[in-house]
Amino acid sequence: YRIKFNETYAEMNKGTNEWKTVLGAVFFFLGVTGLILIWQKHFMYGPIPHTFSEEWVAMQTKRMLDMRMNPVEGISAQWDYEKNEWKK
């Protein structure tokens, strides 16, 4: 039998361990990508701008309401100027 055929049916249908190599390569490249992102965040990006602080956003919102910006469907349409609070 071995002279004519190289493998038996059991040897032919046996699974390979190639999936372990592929999964290892995927995890390796995910790890390298994660390290690159951490490096970029630490060394390339500056501090968060002051315009993201809550005080700045509150002042900006108040100014937009004082200017009655976009009164039809925008932020001014959601504000009740008589009660000085957001509409419900």
| 4 in a structural domain | no
76 within domain boundaries:
yes
Give me the domain span that covers residue 13.
9-43
Using the predicted structure, report yes or no on whether residue 7 has a pLDDT greater than 90.
Answer: no
Count structural domains, the chain. 2
Q: Say if 1 falls within a structural domain.
A: no
16-67 pLDDT, tens digit per residue, is 899 999 999 999 999 999 999 999 999 999 889 999 999 999 999 999 999 9
Q: Are residues 14 and 30 in the same domain?
A: yes
Name the CA dihedral angle for 13, 17, 18, 20, rounded to a multiple of 10 degrees: 150
Confidence (pTM):
0.52
Whether 25 is in a domain gets the answer yes
Distance of CA 7 to the CA centre of its chain: 49
* 71 in any annotated domain: yes
The answer to whether residues 78 and 85 touch, using CB atoms and an 8 Å cutoff, is: no
